[in-house]
């Protein structure tokens, strides 16, 4: 962190990436970008079997972990790899696989990492008849690791019914207090007329 403090000032040196083809996709396995591969290898080296690399693209890495290990891995990412904040926490409902995937998009304000996004994904068991908070759809909260996920996790709780254990403030955020339907971002919640 102190590193950032020194480097970021008004006239701080800004390195510009001369990559105009940032939109193109790296399809082949062998032209995977080097820097991102190194980052992923750091994770693989430390945790081995516990994590599964989904993809490595330019500036983007996605790793998949079990929910039992996520706090430990998040702590490692936060402390050793200097990813210091969460940009988004996305819940995705997969009724066929009977699971709800939660993706943490972690970013960093370090100079060399600031173009990287590390997507840390895990999944919770999905219940067909949800009662948010008291069913098995539970995940450990990352709020003690990344302070910035507090509101994101609250939103994920109300929108998909994923209860985050050890979250200090698991209340509704966006939905009205008297919302009595199932969590609206689940796939079995249908919009009228569609």
Partner 1 sequence: MSELPPGIKLEKEDDKIMTLNVGPQHPGSGHMRIIVKIDGDYIVSCDPDPGYVHRGEEKMAEYRNYITNIPHLERPVIHDSCNILYPYCLGVEEILGLEVPERAKYIRVIASELNRCVYTLYWLAIYGIFLGHSTMFMWPTGDRELLIDLLEKLSGARVTHAYFIPGGVRNDMPANFEDVCIRQINYFEKRIKQYDSIFYSNPILKSRTIKTGVLAQQDAISLGATGSVLRASGVDFDVRKKEPYDVYDNLDFQSNTLKSGDSYARSKIPWLDMLESCRIIRNALEKIPKSGSVRVKLKPNPKAGNVETYKRVESGRGSLGMYIISNGKPEPYRVKISVGSFRNLICLPYLLKGEKLGNMPAVYWSLNYWPVEADR
- DSSP per-residue codes, 82-148: ---EEEEEEEEEETTTTEEEEEEEEE--STTTTT-EEEEEEEEE--SS--TTTSS-EEE--TTT-GG
Q: How many residues does the chain have?
A: 194
User: Candidates 17-25, 37-45, 69-77, 122-130 — which segment interacts with partner 1 by CB under 8 A?
Assistant: 17-25
Q: Residue 180, interface with partner 1 (CB under 8 A)?
A: no
Distances (CA, A) of 65 to 9, 49, 68: 37, 9, 8
51 membership: H or E segment, kind and range: strand 51-57
Q: According to CB under 8 A, which one of 65, 73, 102, 103 is a site residue for partner 1?
A: 103
User: Candidates 28-36, 39-47, 64-72, 186-194 — which segment interacts with partner 1 by CB under 8 A?
Assistant: 186-194
Q: Residue 192, interface with partner 1 (CB under 8 A)?
A: no
- Decide if 132 contacts 154 (C-beta within 8 A): no
Q: Residue 64, interface with partner 1 (CB under 8 A)?
A: no
CB of 14 to partner 1, least distance (A): 5
Orientation angle between helical segments 70-79 and 34-47, nearest 10 degrees? 130
CB of 10 to partner 1, least distance (A): 5
Residue ranges binding partner 1 (CB under 8 A): 1, 4-5, 7-10, 12, 14, 16-20, 22-25, 59-60, 62, 84-88, 90, 92, 103, 105, 107, 109, 114-115, 117, 119, 132-134, 146-152, 155, 163, 170-176, 184-185, 189, 191, 194
């Amino acid at each position: 962190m102190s590193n950032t403090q020194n480097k970021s000032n008004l006239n701080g040196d800004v390195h510009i990436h001369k990559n105009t083809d940032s939109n193109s996709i790296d399809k082949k396995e062998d032209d995977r970008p080097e820097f991102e591969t190194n980052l992923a290898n750091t994770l693989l080296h430390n945790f081995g079997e516990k994590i599964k690399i989904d993809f490595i693209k330019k500036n983007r890495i996605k790793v998949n972990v079990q929910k039992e290990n996520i706090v430990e891995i998040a702590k490692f990412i936060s402390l050793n790899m200097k990813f210091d904040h969460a940009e988004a926490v996305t819940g995705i409902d997969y009724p066929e696989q009977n699971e709800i995937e939660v993706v943490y998009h972690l970013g960093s304000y370090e100079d060399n990492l600031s173009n990287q996004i590390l997507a840390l994904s895990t999944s919770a068991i999905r219940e067909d008849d949800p009662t948010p908070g008291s069913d098995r759809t539970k995940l450990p909260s990352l709020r003690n690791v990344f302070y910035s996920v507090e509101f994101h996790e609250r939103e994920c709780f109300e929108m998909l019914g994923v209860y985050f254990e050890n979250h200090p403030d698991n209340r509704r955020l966006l939905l009205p207090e008297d919302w009595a339907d199932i969590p609206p971002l689940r796939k079995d919640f249908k919009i009228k007329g569609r």
